[in-house]
Amino acid sequence: MEATPIISFKHVNKIYENGTVGLKDINFDIPRGEFLVVVGLSGAGKSTLLRTINRMHEITSGEIRIEDEPIDQYKGRALRLLRRKIGMIFQNFNLVKRSSVAKNVLSGRVSYYPTWKSILGLFSAVDRQKAVQSLQRVSLAEKFYARADELSGGQQQRVAIARTLMQDPKIILADEPIASLDPLTTKTVMDILKRLNQEDGITVIVNLHSVALAREYADRIVGLRAGEVVYDQQIADVTETDLNRVYQTV
């Protein structure tokens, strides 16, 4: 099984301008189709790590390759095309609350259109249908015309997933997707992510606080502490005591 990994970190370092170390010598590969969960304390660098993959954060040194292409030189259109194939889900959903669900979902498709067409809202019938289908996949098609702020937190996160599906992503990055949800909606959202991983073969990388959830959903768990990978195991090899080491403060 030596297929090229979809994402590969090689000696990645990130040092913030004020001297804080964000990431320290990150070295690992993520094979296509993996459901990877990154665990660690707040401030361990989980969000930073995730955002280096779609270049929402820049790295200081090292190399990140996606589908065997180094991504550090991408600018303008090339960078937007990279981001298009990487969907992102956020802790706070990041929907435009005053816009309709339909508009929020369709906004995930804008990178496929020239600017003037997206601004005039000239989406093709095929893509409108696709928006309905994306919502059906998260079981929210009946909310198509509702305003985003009329929905509950769990529903908003599902709309955000539908928006991401509009990108036809190969990778989905989820930054604490369930941190502001209750246990029940947490399960719904995690199940949807797992299903996208299994049915569509999308590589999913999720940042989580909860070790229990990580063990339930992950194919592989990576632990970060102070910007360093201190744990990296396939789910079959994960043991509770090992995992607890990630959360030790020293």
Q: Which is nearer to another protein, 83 or 225 (CB)?
A: 83
By CB neighbour count within 10 A (0-12 exposed, 13-18 middle, 19+ buried), where does 51 fall? middle
Radius of gyration over every alpha carbon of the chain, rounded to an integer in angstroms: 18
Residue 178 Cβ vs another protein, minimum distance, rounded to whole Å: 16
From 170, 160, 154, 118, select the one nearest 135 (Cα to Cα).
160
Residue partners of 248: CB distance under 8 A and separation at least 6: 225
Q: Which is nearer to another protein, 175 or 221 (CB)?
A: 175
Residue 234 Cβ vs another protein, minimum distance, rounded to whole Å: 28
180 binds another protein (CB under 8 A): no
Residues contacting another protein: total by CB under 8 A: 32
Q: Which is nearer to another protein, 106 or 229 (CB)?
A: 106
From 181, 243, 235, 237, select the one nearest 39 (Cα to Cα).
243
Q: Which is nearer to another protein, 174 or 222 (CB)?
A: 174
From 28, 62, 44, 85, select the one nearest 176 (Cα to Cα).
44
**Which residues inside 79-118 make contact with another protein, applying CB under 8 A?**
80-84, 86-88, 90, 92-99, 103, 107-108, 110-111, 115, 118
Residue 166 Cβ vs another protein, minimum distance, rounded to whole Å: 8
**Which residues inside 119-148 make contact with another protein, applying CB under 8 A?**
119
Q: Which is nearer to another protein, 200 or 228 (CB)?
A: 200
Strand, coil or helix: 192:
helix
**Which residues inside 29-68 make contact with another protein, applying CB under 8 A?**
54, 56
By the 8 A CB rule, do 238 and 215 touch? yes
Residue 13 Cβ vs another protein, minimum distance, rounded to whole Å: 22
**Which residues inside 201-240 make contact with another protein, applying CB under 8 A?**
none
Residue 10 Cβ vs another protein, minimum distance, rounded to whole Å: 23
140: its two tokens: 């929210």
Residue 99 Cβ vs another protein, minimum distance, rounded to whole Å: 5
Phi, psi for residue 145 in degrees, rounded to 5: -100, 0
Beta-strand (E) ranges in the chain?
7-15, 21-30, 35-39, 61-66, 69-70, 86-89, 171-175, 203-208, 220-225, 228-234
Q: For residues 174 and 90, what is the distance between their CA atoms, to the nearest angstrom? A: 6
Binding another protein by CB under 8 A: which of 59, 64, 71, 160? 160
Q: Which is nearer to another protein, 165 or 211 (CB)?
A: 165
Residue 244 Cβ vs another protein, minimum distance, rounded to whole Å: 32
Q: Which residues bind another protein (CB under 8 A)?
A: 54, 56, 80-84, 86-88, 90, 92-99, 103, 107-108, 110-111, 115, 118-119, 160, 163-164, 167, 173
